[in-house]
Chains A and B, each alone.
Chain A
């Protein structure tokens, strides 16, 4: 799946991200109360989560493939995908925190969406702790794939359940102006969708490089 990223995809990724950065910072945005110019964070913060989810889904597919074939290459690929997904998760958290500081006035609040992210990061950090505490390669791959599959399913459950438990400050919940409903006019859409595709392509590209390095380093 997407193992050999053709050069056209790389060119597309570069073009889309240059377009995102230029139009995202200079393009016209609707003037909203409180949000003001921070609305531009939409082009950077939200695609991070899309990219993270894309990588986690691919990792999940590889973990299932590993358990059905016991081929260690799948495990290597899955682990690389999770690693890059964590990086994108951290970037998403940082961009979100920056935005929160200017709109909510605090770096961190106890909010279902924020708690959900924190917990999902903990799950995938625990995944790496588990991997580092086993010596045998095969056992490591088996245990960590099993754990990763559980945590992915629970992550989905978490994302479905948690927002319904309480109101959220986050845009799109609890009557707060959502980006998509009121604020996302057609001008912004023209930047937002390319941004999502561009960041996902970039994340996949980084992972491909990581996988190639890991394969060179290992004796699989």
Chain B
């Protein structure tokens, strides 16, 4: 029970911290909106569903990276030291993962809303949102670990993208393929395999970061 209450207060704290520094949160959302609009302008007339899905997931990837890095940079040493003394590493990383997952999910939904306004119509929004949900969990699992890892080094964003691109690629390929299948109105029997793959990947990503985080946390 203590674990759960610590978890809830940590998640609450993460949100409070994020909202306190308005520059970070606004710049993340603005980054998402402007890159979406930029690609809308640049790809005007060329956008069909496959192109759209590639753009959508790329923008999602970059805004997630941007968000995770800014958030990790903002955690200063003294606050981390304070948190280190009062909670266990597991509850800290789980809180971080939940926070990022909710954040990324919101970013993805906002981007989807924007694209809907710009004239993209999805065949099955509900299934798409379900996929986005899994995707947010997978991203948050890997990025919460890697962003923490890259704040410990001398380089920032460049290193983080170098480290996370190859790891996130298999999962990006799956969602890209799944987006195509959703738009081609493929039957559920085939789709379910991809959802299963996403579920397994999200378990792997969360599991890996919970298991491995204590080793870099103690530093």
Contact = CB atoms under 8 A, between A and B. Distances in A.
A93 to B, nearest CB: 16
Interface string B123-153: 0000000000000000000100110010011
A146 B153 contact: no
Interface SS of chain A: helix
Contacts of B216: 142-143, 146
Interface string A15-48: 0000000000000000000000000000000000
Interface residues of A, number: 27
Contacts of B174: 161, 165
B170 A158 contact: yes
Given A67-B215, A139-B152, A158-B170, A126 B162 contact: yes
A119 B166 contact: yes
A66 to B, nearest CB: 9
B186 interface: no
A3 B93 CA distance: 37
A206 interface: no
Given A139-B152, A146-B145, A162-B170, A133 B204 contact: no
B208 A149 contact: yes
Contacts of A130: 149, 153, 159, 163
B167 A151 contact: yes
Interface residues of B, number: 27
Contact of A119 (B169, B201, B219): B169
B154 to A, nearest CB: 5
B153 A134 contact: yes
A157 B204 contact: yes
A94 B173 CA distance: 25
Contacts of B149: 130, 143, 146-147
Nearest to B211: A149
Q: Which among A119, A133, A134 has the greatest number of chain B C-beta atoms within 10 A? A: A133
B159 A133 contact: yes
B212 interface: yes
Give 3 closest A-B pairs by Cβ, nearest first. Answer: A123-B166, A133-B153, A122-B166
Given A153-B208, A154-B170, 6 more contacts: A122-B165, A123-B167, A133-B159, A135-B154, A146-B149, A165-B177
21 contacts: A67-B215, A123-B167, A126-B162, A129-B162, A130-B149, A130-B159, A133-B159, A134-B153, A134-B154, A139-B219, A143-B152, A143-B153, A145-B215, A146-B145, A147-B149, A147-B163, A150-B142, A151-B167, A154-B166, A157-B204, A162-B170
